[in-house]
Amino acid sequence: MEATFEKQVNNEIYHQLGERWYTAKDDPVALLRAESRARNPWMIQHIRQAFPSAPIKILDVGCGAGFLSNALSVEGFDVTGIDASEQSLLIARRYDTTGRVKYQLGDAYHLPYEDASFQVVCAMDFLEHVETPAKVIAEASRVLMPGGLFFFHTFNRNWISWLIGIKGVEWFVKNTPPDLHLHRLFIKPKELQEFCQSNGLQVSLITGSAPDITRLAFWKMVLTRTVEDDFAFKFTNSTLIGYIGFATKVG
């Protein structure tokens, strides 16, 4: 258990979602589904560009109910998903249409894999849920092969991300639990780059990610506090709210 007297992020909610991971529109988990619809094809494209022919072994750290892992498996990749919530993993297995994803209960600070086991490691919407993200990145680097890719998605730390990423969700999405996110755990891009560089990872690309406010679904959420299936995120030049990117294992 992490020793701290500060307020803790509410990770217990992920043990209780059950089927709502994939069905709820009146819950912030619907935003996670929308994010995955935007970023999964983007990640697949970059993985294929980096590894055009070889069989690819991918580790999804903090995989939750498998939004990314299951999509990667459909593409033919050899995928392992690890998470601290057995309840979430049960749902992930249920929605794995390939039946090939290796889901495992485990600790991101102590990954149960040998050095250089994977060509790709992912930590999507996860680094802002731990007290020591640098330890997670160190473990990701350890299990990556030289030349492998570490993908990340997280929130920037500033007043705009607090207003939109925390308060906006509380105001405009039903059933948002207390302490879904904590502003102190958000990570500035420069900090993430330093964590990567300290652990043998060279950041290759960072780009912004934000809700697409041009869609009717965004304004319907504001009015109804529900997130419809056509709600969407888009990539932007600004990293003020959230950002996605990848780093390459040096050596």
CA distance 141 to 247: 10
Domain ranges of the chain: 11-249
DSSP annotation string for 114-149: -TT-EEEEEEES-GGGSS-HHHHHHHHHHHEEEEEE
For the stretch 33-65, what's the b/e string if a residue is b when 16 or more beta carbons lie within 10 angstroms of its beta carbon?
A: bbbbbbbbeebbebbeebbeeeebbbbbbbbbb
CA distance 183 to 176: 15
Identify each DSSP E strand in 62-187 by its residue range: 78-83, 102-105, 118-124, 144-155
CA distance 199 to 195: 7
pLDDT in tens for each of the 251 residues of the chain? Answer: 444 558 999 999 999 999 999 999 999 999 999 999 999 999 999 999 999 987 899 999 999 999 999 999 999 999 999 999 999 999 999 999 999 999 999 999 999 999 999 999 999 999 999 999 999 999 999 999 999 999 999 999 999 999 999 999 999 999 999 999 999 999 999 999 999 999 999 999 999 999 999 999 999 999 999 999 999 999 999 999 999 999 999 97
CB 149 within 8 A of CB 56: no
Instruction: Kindly state which CATH superfamily the domain 11-249 is placed in.
Output: Vaccinia Virus protein VP39 (3.40.50.150)
CA distance 65 to 95: 8
- The one-letter code for the residue type at 239 is T
> Is this prediction's pTM over 0.75?
yes
CA distance 76 to 95: 16
